[in-house]
Amino acid sequence: MTLGSLIDKTIAILRRDLLIAVRYRSGFVITAAGSLAQLAAFYYLARAVGPSFRPDGLDYFPFVLVGTGLFSFLISGMNSFVQIVQEAQQAGTLEILMSTSTPGPVLLFLSALSALTGHTLRLLFYLGAGLFLFGVSARTLNIASCLTILGLSIMSAMSIGIVAAAVQLAIHKGSAVLWLFSSASWLTTGALFPLTALPGPVRAVAQWIPLTHSLQGMRSALLQGARLPSLLPEISVLALFSLVLLPSSLWLFSWTLRRARLQGTLSYY
């Protein structure tokens, strides 16, 4: 497949998703209202906790703002892979989509990329609203560090999302597996509270979840202005996760797709 053809397909998928999103007009308003309500809840939670609680040397509201914002973004990103397969199974488009000239893994990847664009806008809205409406200072923000952590976090989230999509294709329960993963990660990755509050064995498990390093890295880059060299541990771990997980997950998805074609379960849901 040429680069031109890849760009052409990406534009077609983005256009499709944008047109469908526009035709569900209420979706935008509901999402924005939900984000604002969530922000307000965390703001008043932080006030109730009081200024003496400073996890990792940060005020609690910015800590939880970045933690929940990035956590939701990455989990939603993973979920988009499952949703793409699930919706296509339910709408009956999966067999047809997987029989076009575009290879299945490429189609999944591009569709998820389109969904991630939407989630990125939502993340920017969430963080922007948190920073400006609730008066959080981001003067120390280090853009290069933020983008590096974000890029690597997206890659590792994509890998997990592709694995969940493969599970959806194989046993039609990808969303349940992802729900289990996100529930466990909510507890262990330090989205709401610092890892030091957890028992030692749980902290050890947390180190094996890419999200833990994403949250730590992003807080340092966004709220403490950490430069790239000081983020080397987080960057190395996230890069390693991506390097191992991304090709493995794509292989797994291709294998599951072929298995579904052999078993005749591509249209099941």
Residues forming the site for other proteins (CB under 8 A): 5, 8-9, 11-13, 15-16, 19-20, 23-24, 91-93, 95-103, 107, 258, 261-264, 266
Q: From the CB of 158, what's the least distance to other proteins, in Å?
A: 20
d(CA 70, CA 126): 10
Q: From the CB of 247, what's the least distance to other proteins, in Å?
A: 19
DSSP per-residue codes, 220-256: HHHHS---GGGGHHHHHHHHHHHHHHHHHHHHHHHHH
Which DSSP letter does residue 83 get? Answer: H
Q: Output 8 or 57, the one with its CB closest to other proteins.
A: 8
d(CA 199, CA 77): 29
Q: Output 5 or 117, the one with its CB closest to other proteins.
A: 5
Q: Output 23 or 139, the one with its CB closest to other proteins.
A: 23
Q: From the CB of 178, what's the least distance to other proteins, in Å?
A: 19
206, two tokens: 């947390």
Given a contact cutoff of 8 angstroms between Cβ atoms, the answer to whether 181 and 77 are in contact is no
d(CA 163, CA 179): 13
Q: From the CB of 43, what's the least distance to other proteins, in Å?
A: 36
Q: From the CB of 19, what's the least distance to other proteins, in Å?
A: 6
Q: Output 102 or 214, the one with its CB closest to other proteins.
A: 102
Q: Output 155 or 177, the one with its CB closest to other proteins.
A: 177
Residue 143 CB partners (closer than 8 Å, separation 6+): none
Q: From the CB of 239, what's the least distance to other proteins, in Å?
A: 31
Which candidate, 218, 180, 9, 190, places its Cα nearest to that of 78?
Answer: 180
Q: Output 20 or 197, the one with its CB closest to other proteins.
A: 20
d(CA 165, CA 100): 19
The answer to whether the Cα torsion of 47, 49, 51, 53 is positive or negative is negative
